[in-house]
Amino acid sequence: MFHQQDNVVETKNHAPMRELVLKPGEGKPIPGTMNMIDPGVWKGTNSLKAIQDETSLWGFKYDKGLLPEPLKQRFTSITKALSFAKEYFAKRNIDVVEVKDIHAPKSWNSGTE
């Protein structure tokens, strides 16, 4: 992504891994485990990450546990992945409140499980 300011062009490199910060929607019931969404992602005991693999496709991964089937897709851009995630979670009364760049150690396995 390029940003131009005062005739200077800067390149902003984002990490190939992003953490999605989730929380239940205001004034809405907290989703149960029947939605297959681990409540740990908004309680701080688990996290959901979007990860770019070696083929440049983006996918999702929990730190712990199995993803719901709809989140096992691959996306050609982080924009498409985040758009899908926001819509998916909104239907379940969960908001994506922040997306953080994560610079993982080189030993991290970015493959899927």
The tens digit of pLDDT for each residue in 31-43 reads 665 567 888 988 8
CA distances from 107 to 42, 45, 49, 92, 104 (A): 26, 22, 16, 34, 8
> For the purposes of burial, counting CB atoms within 10 Å of the CB of 21, is it exposed (0-12), middle (13-18) or buried (19 or more)?
middle
| Structure letter (DSSP) for residue 75 | B
Q: Give the Cα separation of 21 and 12 in Å (integer).
A: 21
Query: Would the pLDDT of 66 be above 70?
Result: yes
**pTM for the whole thing?**
0.74
